[in-house]
Amino acid sequence: MAGMRMQQGIVLDGFTVGERVHHGGMATLWQVTRPDLAQPLLMKVPRIAEGDDPAAIVSFEMEQMILPRLSGPHVQACFGAGDFARQPYVVMEQIAGETLYRRLPDLPLPYGEAVAIAGKIALALADLHAQHVIHHDIKPSSVMFRPDGDAVLIDYGLSHHAQLPDLLQEEFRLPFGTAPYMAPERLLGVRNDPRSDLFSLGVLPYFFTTGERPFGESETLRGMQRRLWRDATPPRKLRADYPPWLQEIVLRCLEIEPAWRYPTAAQLAFDLGHPDQVKLTSRADKLNRDPLSTAWRRRFNGQVMPTRTPSDVAAQLATAPIVAVALDTTEGAADLNEALRVTAGRILAILPSARLACLNVLKLNRLSIDRTLDEHDNNKHVDRLVMLRHWAQPLQLDAGRLTTHVLEALDPAAAILEFAAVNRVDHIVIGARQNTRLRSLLGSVSAKVAAEAGCSVTVVRPPKRAGDP
């Protein structure tokens, strides 16, 4: 029923069509209701009339395939779809509020607010990539926020699903997307690299903190091709007070070569959430773009684009997990901490893009006042940070792969679990102390972490010594 006239009042597969709320270039949106669904719903219908862009049909097919397979707080729930034999549509939840596009008149935003927005989008991308999907159209009009603050990514017509046919790749040669946010490799037909989304996300904090887009507004293919060899103007050139750590993050996202960007959205979100842990490189101090000689070498010597792109989103994510190691500082923990270092070293040796977060929990007292200094008048927090650094030194990790965190909490297990959940940790390595009567009665930190963590957990025991029971 491709010729069906959509109008208010008609009933389609049990959905009663209400007011039309959006008329876009590729689709229209209608409010709909169904007796058994109380929440607000939207029906998206592609534009397929004479003269409409044929890419709109293919784009809609992609969204129709992908959206029902997605779940979680960062996507719209899907409640139904109609095929092209009758009337193509997809029904999804209506998110309260407006898109991030509505904030454009407020630019530039304060640094803290822009970073918080980017961090929420990075977490949403991490969740999306874990479901084998690359969005390919991250921009202000593709982002909304739930009342609890979670970012919601909308519009999957240009997306790539690693386990589904890529109709856009098969049927078209020109790249589809929004020019100011498009990653360089997209211009060469690469659609299977999740780091393309990180480039697009990098444009957002740049734009939201400077009021300018890093590559201008060019919509021509020739103008877009310049980013294959020309880097962005450093934000500090536009704003003298630009934080070096934020420029480090933004310019790393905007690297021409995907291999030089963050390997995963989760690692990007980690840095956005821990600015004091960001490892500064020459990016942080840049005031000017790369010299023309460098740009010309990129253009004419083929020094651009990856020599090998990942064939599977899940495989790319698997090579760059965030690993957290929980260390003990109590007396007699040396053997256990050595065993933890051996285990962590084995994991990191086979995952060269993995990040290591070293944790220690400074346990607070329930009844008495906590002292910040120990019996030798040394700051406990600082001492433990130094200890964590010393522990990690034999691993010889690049500075950008290591962070240290002292958590202060009444319940050590709960603190570790919260850190892992907030920071999208993929693997926790934690030690189990020798059994004692008290531990057998109350339970151990490692047991609780292993039982309740939402990620993989490796529990390590120290090697037995002669005479141990």
For residue range 323-338, list pLDDT tens digits in order.
Answer: 999 998 776 688 889 9
Instruction: In whole angstroms, give the CA distance from residue 174 to residue 114.
Output: 32
The fold for domain 11-93 equals Phosphorylase Kinase; domain 1 (3.30.200)
Please tell me the predicted confidence (pLDDT) of residue 333. Answer: 80
| Confidence check: pLDDT of 173 > 90 | no
Half-sphere exposure of 101 (CA within 13 A, CB side): 8
- The percent of residues in the chain predicted with pLDDT above 90, rounded, is 63
**Distance of alpha carbon 258 from alpha carbon 451, whole angstroms:** 37
Residue 462 pLDDT: 79
Mean pLDDT of 115-142: 97
The answer, yes or no, to whether residue 253 has pLDDT greater than 70, is yes
Largest CA distance in the chain: 86
The whole-number pLDDT of residue 296 equals 86
Q: Is the pLDDT of residue 10 over 60?
A: yes
Segment 370-378 mean pLDDT: 56
- 370 with 361: CB under 8 angstroms? no
Question: Mean pLDDT lowest for which of 50-54, 167-171, 366-370?
Answer: 366-370
Predicted confidence band at 313 (pLDDT cuts at 50, 70, 90)?
Answer: confident
- pLDDT computed for residue 461 by the predictor: 85
Highest mean pLDDT: which of 71-80, 210-219, 369-378? 71-80
Provide the pLDDT confidence category of residue 11 given band limits of 50, 70 and 90: very high
Write down the domain spans for the chain: 11-93, 100-316, 321-460
Residue 275: pLDDT band (50, 70, 90) is very high
Closest CA to 43 of 74, 8, 85, 86: 8
Please tell me what DSSP assigns to residue 411: -
Give residue 465's pLDDT. 63
Residue bearing tokens 């990075």? 122
Lowest mean pLDDT among 193-202, 299-308, 318-327, 392-401: 299-308
> Rounded to a whole number, what is the distance in angstroms from the first to the last CA of the chain?
77
Strands (E), 24-98: 27-34, 37-46, 78-82, 89-93
- HSE, side-chain direction, 13 A CA sphere, residue 303: 13
> Residue 285 phi/psi, 5° resolution?
-100, -5
Q: What is the pLDDT of residue 16?
A: 96
Measured between alpha carbons, how far is 137 from 186 in angstroms, rounded to an integer? 11
Q: Is the pLDDT of residue 160 over 90?
A: yes
Query: Is 120:265 a contact under the CB 8 Å cutoff?
Result: no
Gap between the Cα atoms of 61 and 313, Å rounded: 21
Question: Is the pLDDT score of 182 beyond 70?
Answer: yes
Token pair listed for 375: 């019996």
Closest by CA to 417, choosing from 384, 450, 458, is 450
- Cα 69 to chain centroid distance, Å, stands at 19
The fold for domain 321-460 equals Rossmann fold (3.40.50)
Collapsing DSSP states into helix, strand and coil, what is residue 323?
strand
Q: How far is CA 152 from the centre of its chain?
A: 12
Look at residue 442 in the predicted model and tell me its pLDDT: 45
In the structure encoding, which two tokens stand for residue 347, read together? 């994991």
For residue 3, is pLDDT > 60? no
Give the pLDDT band of residue 299 (cuts 50, 70, 90): confident
pLDDT tops 70 at residue 4? no
pLDDT digits (tens, 9 = 90+) for 380-421: 788 888 999 999 999 999 888 999 999 988 899 999 999 999
Query: What CA–CA distance (Å, rounded) separates 396 from 213?
Result: 38
Q: In the predicted model, is pLDDT for residue 320 greater than 80?
A: yes
pLDDT of 438 higher than 50 = no
Output the pTM of the full model.
0.90
Q: pLDDT tens-digit profile of 28-69?
A: 999 999 999 999 999 999 887 655 567 778 889 999 999 999
Name the pLDDT band for 307 (thresholds 50, 70, 90). Answer: very low
Residue 364: predicted pLDDT: 80
Q: Binning pLDDT at 50, 70 and 90, where does residue 441 land?
A: very low
Q: Is the confidence at residue 283, as pLDDT, over 80?
A: yes
Give the tokens for residue 252.
Answer: 């790393």
- Res 308: pLDDT: 45
Task: Respond yes or no on whether the N-terminal peptide bond of residue 108 is cis (omega within 30° of 0).
Answer: yes
Average pLDDT over residues 431-452: 72
Phi-psi sector, 87: left (phi>0), alpha (psi -120 to 50), beta: beta
Which tokens hold the place of 6? 């959509």
pLDDT for 225 equals 85
CATH topology of domain 100-316: Transferase(Phosphotransferase); domain 1 (1.10.510)
Region 429-456 average pLDDT: 77
Rounded CA gap, 135 and 192, in Å?
Answer: 10
**79 close to 92: Cβ distance less than 8 angstroms:** yes
Query: What pLDDT shows up at residue 316?
Result: 83
